[in-house]
Structure 1
């Protein structure tokens, strides 16, 4: 059974989901999702490990401050405090989308604590695709930024992120919309989308070739949100020659919604 709880970290309320027992695995979501994205993936991992899915600040049921910078350093402090609160030291880490750079930056500063690393349809390098640049521009452009975080825009993001809309679970759209009912929450979501610096991405790129733990890359090939995902995976494989790669040819960006059981099984086997 998945439990939902909150802890206080650095003056913020941080929500999370948790299930299973044993050595911990941390799942980090991206934009504009939350731990909700992993709800149907977690049981497959929990068959072998304690699995924790965080709601990052600005997302889900966590605090959405407007007086803080959504920077790599802020997320690093929050992840440090969050893991301390849950008595987690060494862990397996799985990241997705914007959670990739957030989690990978934290890992680059805490590499001795990472025992296994999994990556799913994520960003990892400072050279951004045209789609990522267009997204960043939209977060600061009047009209576009309002549409981006509207209830309609959030639903469209989810629909754009799957290759087969018939595979979206009935609760998926409501789950992505619910945390952003207020203007303040939507403003925080925009800030979170554009807060990460180029310097942090360069730190990640320089760290990746030094990673010496087992790595698993699992991605949906039909990714319209990160259309350069194959190029990113090819570069990751060059930097991480120990990586084992699995591809879902018929999935888009949100493979957690399209193929949750299969993804959970693969991750469970990897982290076992």
Structure 2
């Protein structure tokens, strides 16, 4: 069983904005990037196994968690990557292993591809990478672009429902967890920023990922929940990744959904710890 310590949220001021993050352990640094609509909180039970041998940093991306949520933020690849660069520079970190889930997957991958030598390895969990978006992704983007459906989706009830859809067994998602997910988005402006952060990544960035991914020269590890109703084509995404990167190691967890960190944090943490220790 993993250590159940929950790292506290810290904040720093970098590049003119506040960034929230959680930190645990010491050693070679590992950066964990969440997706929509979560935050570093999603990684809280995955961090301890990795932290036995590494310095683990889970960042709240702009628009999420304890980080700033400007309504007029760009929330594109360049904006997220500037935040990552500023965060790592503030901590004096050059090389880092990185993991990305959901929205954090393309951000982590694009960041690594455009900054050769900085990423020591990449782990990907239930994410999207390619510009041929599934109907589920198109529907999600459409929902967040329309004011009426956007307000419903980003409301406390809407966010709770999205989280419930993202687990195979709702017993793994108690009310206390849902409250933590919803808490950063109490204001209307925060909910609008959340919506914009969910649709700011331009298709051109995914085209760049698809073109450059076969040339990626760092180790890649995939751990994913097979019962994903949020990204139902996730197995196809990772099968394509395997064709692009035959050396990538892929493990599917048959009893987990999209938010596998909530459903089996011990297995996820152990598998990632093994990968990052190589």
TM-score, normalised by the number of residues in structure 2: 0.96
What is the aligned partner in structure 2 of residue 17 from structure 1?
22
Partners of 2:85 and 2:248 in 1: how far apart? 26
What is the aligned partner in structure 1 of residue 168 from structure 2?
163
What is the aligned partner in structure 1 of residue 245 from structure 2?
240
Partners of 1:169 and 1:268 in 2: how far apart? 26
Structure 1 position 43 matched with structure 2 position 48: yes
Task: List gaps (5 residues or longer) in structure 1.
Answer: none
What is the aligned partner in structure 2 of residue 90 from structure 1?
95
CA positional deviation for 1:171: 2.5
What is the aligned partner in structure 1 of residue 224 from structure 2?
219
CA contact (8 A) 2:29 2:56 kept: yes
CA contact (8 A) 2:29 2:57 kept: yes
SS at match of 2:23: strand
CA contact (8 A) 1:169 1:257 kept: no
Q: In structure 1, which of residues 100, 109, 112 is the aligned counterpart of residue 105 of structure 2?
A: 100
Q: In structure 2, which of residues 131, 145, 150 is the aligned counterpart of residue 145 of structure 1?
A: 150
TM-score, normalised by the number of residues in structure 1: 0.98
Partners of 1:117 and 1:78 in 2: how far apart? 18
Partners of 1:116 and 1:140 in 2: how far apart? 34
Structure 1 position 135 matched with structure 2 position 118: no
Structure 1 position 125 matched with structure 2 position 156: no
CA positional deviation for 1:263: 0.5
What is the aligned partner in structure 2 of residue 72 from structure 1?
77
CA positional deviation for 1:270: 0.8
Partners of 1:209 and 1:82 in 2: how far apart? 28
What is the aligned partner in structure 2 of residue 31 from structure 1?
36
Partners of 2:76 and 2:108 in 1: how far apart? 12
What is the aligned partner in structure 1 of residue 200 from structure 2?
195
Partners of 2:175 and 2:195 in 1: how far apart? 26
Q: In structure 1, which of residues 211, 230, 233 is the aligned counterpart of residue 235 of structure 2?
A: 230
What is the aligned partner in structure 2 of residue 268 from structure 1?
273
SS at match of 2:161: helix
What is the aligned partner in structure 2 of residue 253 from structure 1?
258
* Superposed CA offset, 1:82-137 (max 9, x none): 11011111111100001111111111111211111100001111110000000000
CA contact (8 A) 2:109 2:122 kept: no
Number of aligned pairs? Answer: 272
Correspondences of 1:168-179 after superposition (within 5 Å): 168-179=173-184
